[in-house]
């Protein structure tokens, strides 16, 4: 009896491993296709502009809300901590490093994973379920070139200014809180920010933007393309896309920081 | 001509099609009859190369398309049009845009030629005045006619229909079936349609193949279906509509 149970569990694990490897293989081919169809960007420039508006301009409010929140919170909490050591004047420095290197890009990535990733997953999933993606293939149009590549290109282009916006608004919020809550003069705050920022601080932060763009777009689109089983299937694939891309954003955030900070 | 030769298709451990062979000649209307979920729509997707069989071969006009790359399949697919069960119209595009979409995408035709072809299909589908409407504002029968118009836009030799009358009222069903017959009679277009409605088969099909438990148990001229002594065929002849 225990042997049979172990064998059944073993078989199930092997089957799941096979499925996982197969999915990874499909994802790799799908991603490769999205990149190799980039030369067709000129043909799909309208789709690119639509997607750039969706993931860029339309995402500004959510990016502002998250970055202002985190900038304000950091200013209050870190300011309180520094006050204990009599080092309140270092608030600008510590907030700037946290926002530019880590929290600005990370929160933007998570917000866009929820916003842009869910939209991609739901839209492409609905197209898959209603056979519109099959229709594209049946009538001779490459669905990856038409639907995924413009999304990827738009995210690659738009995530960088969004990161800059997240950094800027987060720091502005922190500066305001420093002035009104901790009574730190703005001159002192900004003086602790600008002269001490070095190139690698920006490289760490801004390198994350294209990495997150690739993760969020490809994972959510792949899940949309893999949707099956009616409207419930669209929901499942959308959730899967958000969960996986958010997790990968967190992991990538750590590794980009580690690699850049160790090597620059 | 389209041919499936000893095609086997499996989803995981489940065998959907088990060494099936079928031939569809030009200028004929062939029905594929069978209960829901038996793999009828899968056969259409195999014919278009949208899915690959586990074994066996698929031929279109004598060309083995089984292992062709996606890019090489595009010109082959343009020889056939397909009307999906749910029509698969692009819901954010108007009727005229749906009809012109693939012309703009894949053929470098001048604007006046595109407009001419779209007008032809609008007229053919009897949808004058609806050009600027979105698909959601049309009835089921009208949407089906748009989907047929779209399938005709590349002037194919053969059209594949996935359950062409499913979900339509009797009048709309009749119109769609007449349209398929007219296409064969006046334009010489062949058709393959999968269905679970046996009356549709007798109404328009020249030949019928019956798919049951992953195999074709009948493949001949429609009139001979009555002579079959297979128990499943006897039961569907008495019930008229297969289990949904």
Q: Quick check: B78 and A146 CB within 8 A?
A: no
Nearest CA in chain A to B89: A132
B13 touching A (Cβ < 8 Å): no
A131 touching B (Cβ < 8 Å): yes
Chain B residues near residue A139 by CB distance under 8 angstroms: 77-78, 81-82, 102, 105-106, 150, 154
Q: Region B103-122: what's the mean pLDDT?
A: 89
Whole-prediction pTM: 0.87
Question: Which residue among B82, B90, B91 sits closest to A138, beta carbon to beta carbon?
Answer: B82
Predicted confidence at residue A106, as pLDDT, reads: 94
Instruction: From first to last of the 264 residues of chain A, give the pLDDT tens digit.
Output: 678 888 888 888 898 898 889 999 999 999 999 999 999 999 999 999 999 999 999 999 999 999 999 999 999 999 999 888 888 888 899 999 999 999 999 999 999 999 999 999 999 999 999 999 999 999 989 999 999 999 999 999 999 999 999 999 999 999 999 999 989 988 998 988 888 888 888 999 999 999 999 999 999 999 999 998 888 989 999 999 999 999 999 999 999 999 998 887
Has residue B240 got a pLDDT over 60?
no
B68 CB-contact burial (10 Å; exposed 0-12 / middle 13-18 / buried 19+) = middle
**Using CA atoms, how far apart are residues A128 and A224, in angstroms rounded to an integer?**
7
CA distance B71 to chain A (A): 8
Predicted confidence at residue B81, as pLDDT, reads: 92
CA distances from B134 to A136, B90, B138 (A): 18, 9, 7
Q: Quick check: B105 and A141 CB within 8 A?
A: yes
Residues B213, B5: contact at Cβ < 8 Å?
Answer: no
Residues B38, B213: contact at Cβ < 8 Å?
Answer: yes
CA distance B46 to chain A (A): 11
| 3-state SS string for B116-184 | HHHHHHHHHCCCCCCCCCCHHHCCHHHHHHHHHHHHHCCCCCEEEEECCCCCCCHHHHHHHHHHHHHHH
Lowest mean pLDDT among A8-17, B24-33, B83-92: A8-17
Question: What are the beta bridge partners of residue B64?
Answer: B59
Give me the residue label for tokens 């997790």.
Answer: A247
CA distance A31 to chain B (A): 16
> Crossing angle for the helix pair A2-36 and A199-225, nearest 10 degrees?
110
Q: Quick check: B50 and A134 CB within 8 A?
A: yes
Torsion angles phi and psi, residue B194, rounded to 5: -100, 140
Question: Which residue among A132, A140, A146 sits closest to B88, beta carbon to beta carbon?
Answer: A132
Say yes or no: ipTM exceeds 0.90. Answer: no
- The string of DSSP letters for A71-93 reads HHHHHHHHHHHHHHTT-GGGHHH
**Using CA atoms, how far apart are residues B41 and B36, in angstroms rounded to an integer?**
9
CA distance B161 to chain A (A): 13
Question: Which residue among A130, A137, A141 sits closest to B50, beta carbon to beta carbon?
Answer: A137
Q: Quick check: B74 and A135 CB within 8 A?
A: no
Predicted confidence at residue B244, as pLDDT, reads: 43
A142 touching B (Cβ < 8 Å): yes
Chain B residues near residue A137 by CB distance under 8 angstroms: 48, 50, 70, 77
Q: Region B237-242: what's the mean pLDDT?
A: 68
- The string of DSSP letters for A14-62 reads HHHHHHHHHHHHHHHHHHHHHHHTGGGGGTTHHHHHHHHHHHTGGGHHH
Predicted confidence at residue B243, as pLDDT, reads: 52
**Using CA atoms, how far apart are residues A256 and A211, in angstroms rounded to an integer?**
9
Nearest CA in chain A to B84: A131
Q: Region B63-72: what's the mean pLDDT?
A: 92
- The enclosing H or E element of A222 equals helix A199-225
B105 touching A (Cβ < 8 Å): yes
Sheet containing B14-24, strands listed edge to edge, beginning at the edge strand earlier in sequence: B14-24, B2-11, B55-60, B63-64
Q: Quick check: A140 and B105 CB within 8 A?
A: yes
Q: How many residues comprise chain B?
A: 244
Predicted confidence at residue B202, as pLDDT, reads: 93
B192 touching A (Cβ < 8 Å): no
**Using CA atoms, how far apart are residues B24 and B40, in angstroms rounded to an integer?**
14
Predicted confidence at residue A85, as pLDDT, reads: 85
């Amino acid at each position: 009896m225990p042997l049979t149970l172990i064998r059944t569990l073993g078989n199930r694990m092997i089957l799941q491993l096979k499925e996982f490897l197969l999915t990874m293989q499909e994802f790799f081919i799908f991603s490769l296709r999205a990149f190799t169809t980039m030369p067709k960007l000129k043909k799909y420039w309208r789709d690119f502009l639509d997607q750039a508006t969706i993931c860029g301009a339309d995402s500004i409010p959510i990016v502002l809300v998250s970055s202002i929140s985190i900038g304000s919170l950091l200013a209050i909490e870190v300011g309180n901590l520094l006050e204990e050591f009599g080092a309140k004047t270092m608030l600008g420095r510590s907030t700037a490093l946290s926002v530019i290197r880590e929290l600005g890009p990370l929160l933007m990535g998570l917000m866009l994973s929820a916003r842009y990733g869910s939209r991609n997953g739901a839209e492409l999933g609905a197209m898959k379920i209603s056979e519109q993606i099959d229709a594209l293939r049946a009538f001779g149009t490459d669905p990856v070139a038409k639907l995924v590549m413009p999304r990827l290109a738009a995210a690659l282009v738009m995530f960088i200014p969004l990161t800059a916006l997240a950094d800027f608004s987060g720091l502005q919020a922190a500066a305001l809180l420093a002035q009104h809550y901790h009574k730190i003069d703005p001159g002192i705050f900004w003086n602790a920010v600008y002269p001490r920022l070095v190139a690698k601080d920006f490289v760490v932060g801004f390198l994350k933007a294209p990495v997150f763009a690739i993760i969020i777009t490809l994972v959510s689109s792949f899940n949309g393309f893999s949707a099956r089983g009616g409207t419930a299937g669209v929901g499942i694939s959308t959730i899967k896309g958000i969960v996986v891309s958010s997790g990968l954003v967190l992991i990538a955030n750590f590794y980009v920081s580690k690699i850049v900070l160790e090597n620059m | 001509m389209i041919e499936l030769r000893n095609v086997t298709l499996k989803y995981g451990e489940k065998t959907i099609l088990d060494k099936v062979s079928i031939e569809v000649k030009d200028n004929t209307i062939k029905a594929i009859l069978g209960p829901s979920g038996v793999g009828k729509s899968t056969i259409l997707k195999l014919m278009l190369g949208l899915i690959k069989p586990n074994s066996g071969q698929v031929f279109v006009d004598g060309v083995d398309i089984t292992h062709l790359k996606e890019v090489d399949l595009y010109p082959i697919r343009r020889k056939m049009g397909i009307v999906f069960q749910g029509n698969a119209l692009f819901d954010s595009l108007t009727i005229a845009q749906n009809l012109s979409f693939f012309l703009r995408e894949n053929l470098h035709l001048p604007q006046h030629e595109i407009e001419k072809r779209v007008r032809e299909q609008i007229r053919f589908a009897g949808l004058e005045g609806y050009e600027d409407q979105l698909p959601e504002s049309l009835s089921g029968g009208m949407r089906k006619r748009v989907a047929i118009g779209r399938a005709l836009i590349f002037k194919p030799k053969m059209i594949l229909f996935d359950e062409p009358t499913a979900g339509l009222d009797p009048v709309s069903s009749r119109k769609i079936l007449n349209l398929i017959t007219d296409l064969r009679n006046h334009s010489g277009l062949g058709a393959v349609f999968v269905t679970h409605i046996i009356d549709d088969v007798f109404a328009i099909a020249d030949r019928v193949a019956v798919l049951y438990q992953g195999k074709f148990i009948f493949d001949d001229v429609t009139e001979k279906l009555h002579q079959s002594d297979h128990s499943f065929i006897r039961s569907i002849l008495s019930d008229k509509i297969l289990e949904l």
